[in-house]
Structure 1
Amino acid sequence: MEFAILLITILFVSLFQIAVPFFVKRTVVFGVTIPYEEARHPKVMHYKKLYAIITAIVSLIAITGFFIWNQDTTLGETKLVLIGSLIPFVILITGLTLYFYFHYKMTKLKKEQKWFGEIKQVRVADLEARSKDEMLASTFHLIPAVISVTLIILSMNLFDQLPNQIPTHWGPDGTPDAFTDKSWLSVLSLPIISLVFQFMFFGINLFTKQSGIKINAGNVKSSKLRQLRLRKYTSWFLFLTNILMTLLFAFLQLNLLYEDLFSGSLLLLVPFGFTAIILAGALILAIKVGSVDSDFEGKVIDDQSANSKTESVDEDKYWKGGLIYFNPNDPSIFVEKRFGIGWTLNFANPIGYFVVLVPIALILILSFSI
C-alpha cells in the first residue's frame, strides 16, 4: 500500500513538473513577463519544450529506478519508503534548477528583443469582476473546527483511562510501532494541530478573497476568466483539504482514544484515500485554471485587447527570481504564482507572515515537542 501511495505521488509530481510551463499564464514565462503577442515566439516555445523533455527524462529514470528497488527484497521496507519519499524532491529540485536556468535565458531574451519598448503599459480595473467572484465564504473553514473542539473535550475526559504509552506511528499491518509518554500535549496534539490548520485556512481564504483581481491589458477576456477560475477553484480545493485533514486527524485521534477501534487494513486505506483525493483535487484545479490563458487553451484569443499595443504594467522588478513577490505598493496579501497553479505571499505585507508562517511554526513546535 505504501508503495502505491508513493508511486502515485511520484507520478503526479512528475506530470505536474513536465506540464507546468504550459499551463502558467501566457504572459509569464519562467517568471519573466512578456507581451501577449510574443507568447508563441519560437525561442519561448523552445525553452518550454526543452524544460519538459529534460524533466520527463529525469522523471522516467526515477520511476524506473523505484520499480527496480521495489523488486529488491533485501532493500527493506524502511529504505524503500525513504527512497520513495526522496524521489519527488529530486524531481522538484530538477525542475527548480531548470526553472532558474530558463529564467535567466528568458530575461536575456527579453532584453535582446526590447519587449515593452514600444508598448503602452496600463493597469486594468474591472468593476464587474467582483460581482462574478465565486469564492467560498471564509466562514466555511470554521465549520470543521467543531469536530476538533469536540475531540479535545472527549480526549480530556478520557485522559485518565489512556495507557502511559501513547502510539505515534503504525506499521504496514496497522500495529503501533512507535510510542511516547502520555501527557496532555501528546494526547491533545492532533486536535490542536487540526484546529490551527482550520484557522490558517480561514485566514488564507479571507485575505485571498480580498486580494486584487489582476487582469492582463493585452488579453482582458481570457485573463479575467483565468483569475475568476483561480479564485473559485482554489477556494474549493482549500476547503476540501481542510475537510479531509480534519477527518484524517479525527480518525487518528479516535484510534488513539479507543484501542482497536479500527482494523489494520483501514489504518492503511484511510491515508491512501486521503492522498488520492487530494491529488485528484489538485489535478482538477490545474486543469480548470491551466486550460485558460495558457498554451493548453490551444489558441490565442483574438479580441480587441489582444490586437492592441497595450499591455499590463511589467512587474518583474517586484518578483525576486520570478518566484518571490515583494511589492510594498500592492495591498494584496496573496497573488497568483508565476510558476505553477495557486497563490503565493506578498512578502512585503507583514500580515501574510501571521496568516501562514506563524501557524506553521506553531504546528512544527507542537509536532517536535511530543
Structure 2
Amino acid sequence: MSIIVFLVITLFIAFIQTVIPYLVKRTVVFGVTIPDQYTQNPTIKAYKKRYSISVALLSGIIIGGYIIWAFTNERLEEQVAIAGTIIEFAIIFISVSWYFYYHGKTKQLKSKNKWVENLKQVKVTDLSVRSQDEMLPWYIYLMPILITIGFMLYTIINYELLPDQIPTHWGPSGEPDAFTEKTPFSSIQLTLLLLVMQLMFLGIHIATKNSGIKLSATGLQSSRNRQLSLRKYSSWFMLFVVLVITMLMGYFQLTTIHPNIASDYAMAALPLFFLAIVLIGTLIFGLKVGRSDKEIEILEDEKIMDIDEDKYWKGGMFYFNKNDPSIFVEKRFGVGWTINFANPIGYIIVLVPLIIIIVISIL
C-alpha cells in the first residue's frame, strides 16, 4: 500500500516540476521578467526545454531505482515510507537546483542583450476588471468550519463511547498507527487541528481576494485572462481541498467514536481515493491557470514593456515589496500564490496557524 501511495505522489511531483516552465506567466522565465518582444527568443526556449528534459530524466532514474529497490526484496512499510519521502525531496531539490541555474543564465542573457534598456516601462490599470472577478465569497468557507464544530460537539456528547486510547495518526493504509490517552482535550484534538487549518485557508482566501490584479501593458487580454483564472480557480481549489480534508478527518473522528462503521476496505480505500481526487484537482487547477495566457497578442507599441519587478524578487522566488499592499501575489515559478514577505500580515495568516497546529499536536 505504501509503495503505491508514494509512487503516485512522486510521479505527480516529477510531472509538475517538469512542466512548470510552461505553466508560469508567459513574460516570466525562471523568475526573471522578460519583455513580451523576447519571450519567443530561441535561447529562452532552449533553456525551458533543457530544464524539462533534465528534470524528467533525473526523476525517472530516481523513481526507477526506488521501484527496483522496493520490489526486489520484502520491505517494511516504514522503510518504504522513509525512502519515498526522501526521493520526493530529492526530486524537488533537483528541480530547484536546475531552476536556480537557469535563473542565473536567464538574468545574464537579459543583461547581455540589454532587453530593457531601450524600452519604456508601463503600468496598466483597469478599474473594470474587479467587476469580472469570480472568486468565491468568503462566507462559503464557513460551511466546512460549521461541519467541524458539529463534529466537535458530537464528540463531546459521546465522550463515554470513546476508547481509552485515542488515535492521533493514520498511516497510508488508513489504519491508526499512533495513540494517546483519552482525555477531554485528546478526544477533540483532531477536530481542533482541522478547525485551525480551515481558519488558515479562510484567511488566505480573504487575503488573495483583496490582492492586486496586475495586468500587462503588452498583453492586456491574456494577462486579464490569467489573473481572473488564477483568482477564480484558486478560490474553488482551496475550497475543494478544505472540503476533502474535512470529510476525511471527519470520517476518522467518527470511526474513533463508532469503530463498527468503518470496514477494513473503506479504511484502506478512502485515503487513496481522497489523495487521487486532490492530485487530479491540483493538476486541473495548474493546467487551467497555466495555459490561460499563452495566446500571443500583436503588440501595438513594440517600444514598451511591463514594469520590471525583478529587484523585488529574491532569487525569482521570494517577493519583498513594502510598496505593494498585497499580502499574496502570483508565484513566479509554479502556479498559485506566494507571500509578500515585506507584509507582516502574511506571516500572521500562515505562521500563526502552523504554530498553533504544532502546539496542539505536541499537547
Q: TM-score range by the shorter chain?
A: over 0.9
> How far, CA to CA, are the matches of 2:208 and 2:165 in structure 1?
42
SS of residue in 2 equivalent to 1:340 = coil
1:325 and 2:319 matched: yes
1:312 and 2:306 matched: yes
Post-superposition Cα deviations, 1:240-288, rounded to whole Å, max 9, x if no partner, equal 0011111111011111112232012211211111111111111111111
Partner residue in 2 for 1:245: 245
Question: Does the 8 Å contact 1:69/1:80 carry over to 2?
Answer: no
> How far, CA to CA, are the matches of 2:19 and 2:318 in structure 1?
21
- Pairs within 5 Å for 1:122-137: 122-137=122-137
Q: Could you tell me how far 1:172 is from its partner in structure 2?
A: 6.8
Partner residue in 2 for 1:283: 283
Aligned length: 363
Q: Which amino acid aligns with 1:302?
A: I
Structure 2, gaps ≥5 residues long: none
Partner residue in 2 for 1:12: 12
Aligned CA distance change for structure 1 residues 206 and 189 (closer, same or farther; 3 Å): same
Post-superposition Cα deviations, 1:267-322, rounded to whole Å, max 9, x if no partner, equal 121111111111111111111111122xxx3x522253xx5321111011111111
Partner residue in 2 for 1:47: 47
Q: Could you tell me how far 1:14 is from its partner in structure 2?
A: 0.7
Partner residue in 2 for 1:301: 297
SS of residue in 2 equivalent to 1:314 = coil
Question: Does the 8 Å contact 2:32/2:310 carry over to 1?
Answer: yes
| TM-score, scaled to structure 1 | 0.94
Question: Does the 8 Å contact 2:163/2:256 carry over to 1?
Answer: no
> How far, CA to CA, are the matches of 1:207 and 1:175 in structure 2?
37
> How far, CA to CA, are the matches of 1:175 and 1:150 in structure 2?
24
Aligned CA distance change for structure 1 residues 243 and 45 (closer, same or farther; 3 Å): same
SS of residue in 2 equivalent to 1:178 = strand
Q: Could you tell me how far 1:183 is from its partner in structure 2?
A: 2.0
Post-superposition Cα deviations, 1:142-201, rounded to whole Å, max 9, x if no partner, equal 111111111111111222332322223456766544321112332111111111111111
Partner residue in 2 for 1:206: 206
Structure 1, gaps ≥5 residues long: none
SS of residue in 1 equivalent to 2:62 = helix
1:348 and 2:342 matched: yes
Aligned CA distance change for structure 1 residues 22 and 173 (closer, same or farther; 3 Å): closer
Partner residue in 1 for 2:358: 364
Aligned CA distance change for structure 1 residues 353 and 174 (closer, same or farther; 3 Å): closer
RMSD: 1.6
| TM-score, scaled to structure 2 | 0.96
> How far, CA to CA, are the matches of 2:343 and 2:43 in structure 1?
36
> How far, CA to CA, are the matches of 1:187 and 1:48 in structure 2?
51
Aligned CA distance change for structure 1 residues 174 and 316 (closer, same or farther; 3 Å): closer
Report the more deviating stretch, 167-176 or 120-129.
Answer: 167-176
